[in-house]
A and B are shown apart, each in its own frame.
Chain A
Amino acid sequence: MSILETAWQFIQGNWMNAIMWVIGGVLIYLAIKKDMEPTLLLPIGFGAILVNLPGSTIADPGHIIDLLYRSGIENEFFPLVLFIGIGAMIDFGPVLTNPKLMLFGAAAQFGIFFTLSMATLLGFAPTEAASIAIIGAADGPTSIVVANELGIGVNNPGLFGAIVVAAYSYMALVPIVQRPVIKLITTKKERLIRMEYKQQDVSKFTRILFPIVITAVVGFVAPDGLPLIGCLMFGNLIRECGVLNSLSETAQKVLANLITIFLGISISYTMRAESFLQVQTLIVLGLGLVAFVFDTVGGVFFAKFINLFAKKKVNPMIGAAGISAFPMSARVVHKMGLEEDNQNFLLMHSIGANVSGQIASVVAGGLILSLFKAFL
């Protein structure tokens, strides 16, 4: 028997695994060659290959991937601890200077609820539809926590894997997804609108009180979102308090990096061919795209709506930066502004809207949990 025949027989016997190797390879390619979310796509891609090698037992009960998944994803430890690191990285200064930017963060969560309706229309069960919709939060940890809390990780690991992969992939694809959508729904005249930025110092008092107040308000309105907002704002408080600089640095770098390594590889647990290669995976990827597109649409149209009344016009592209994908979305808007007019600097406004999106997406996650836990 020739080598080719042996190879063909092997592929016939393992064609589903072979598809997963290709998917893993594509994710690794996107991470290394295209620099798209490499910290997550690379471990996820490698993990996808690892768990789908013939005879691989690495994700079997008691083995390393299974242990990591059970101790870090299933109980939401990794995404929540990662949120402490993310909180420590975020400077809320631009939004504290101009708090009205928070409105764009709120508007850009529209994609979540639009996708919820679309997923319901396609016949997904309510908790499944809600978990798919949360891809629109443009926030990997939020997607993991919400899907897990709604029981998807245990009841439908294939769907869970598809949701996580879609959430992280589209975050990486923000420049490719948002750019054409923004161009399609804004006129050149709108994209040329200049926005004045007044540099204002934000007092330490405000910076310290802000994370505490947000935690209290969100906890009051959507208590199920407390783990998410609590960890995010705890990280931010460490950053802003001014007396825990070494903890803040550790949270931003060592802690976040360590958790990211484990998080990425653990997700591969959900990427075993038999559970991942289903039609629903393709539908989830499609719905994830819908979520990102309608987040952008929601933000931009809200800015247009504001312009109907505002004396000082807002560049509608700022609305698109209201999604949580930080800082990719802010960069896209800033670059698009410069392409239209090389003196139009939208960076601070778009960063403000973008960090607001972080808060709003967590609030949306908490709301979804509060509303859908009744379905469990």
Chain B
Amino acid sequence: MISIKNLLSGGILTPDIENFQFVDSLKIMARGMLTIFLVTAILILIVFVLNKYSRKKSEKESGTGNENGRE
């Protein structure tokens, strides 16, 4: 399982757990906001694809319906 800790660990944004100070909270702020925007971007992309797929599917279905009607 990829946790957020694994995902973003090792960089300059890793807080010092032993001696947590104000600067570490700023690192967590940066990590937190970056991750929230990353998750949001993924979700936007997924919804965009889902919407596009649904629209194409419904267009296809309604197109087939008309053809049947004409026949």
Contact = CB atoms under 8 A, between A and B. Distances in A.
A374 B29 contact: no
A375 B2 contact: no
Contacts of B57: 203, 205
Nearest to A224: B3
Contacts of A356: 40
A316 interface: no
Contacts of B58: 203
Interface in A346-368: 356, 359-360, 363-364, 367-368
A164 interface: no
A103 B55 CA distance: 23
Chain B interface residue number, banded: 35 or more
Interface stretch (A24-32, A50-58, A116-124, A307-315): A116-124
Contacts of A109: 32-33, 36
Interface string B38-71: 1110111011101101110110000000000000
A113 B28 contact: yes
Interface of A: 95-96, 99-100, 102-103, 105-106, 109-110, 112-114, 116-117, 120-121, 126, 129, 202-203, 205-206, 209-210, 213-214, 217-218, 220-224, 356, 359-360, 363-364, 367-368, 370-371, 374-375
16 contacts: A110-B33, A113-B28, A113-B32, A120-B20, A203-B57, A209-B50, A213-B50, A217-B43, A221-B2, A222-B3, A223-B1, A363-B35, A367-B31, A367-B32, A370-B3, A371-B4
Interface of B: 1-5, 7, 15, 17, 20-22, 24-26, 28-29, 31-33, 35-40, 42-44, 46-48, 50-51, 53-55, 57-58
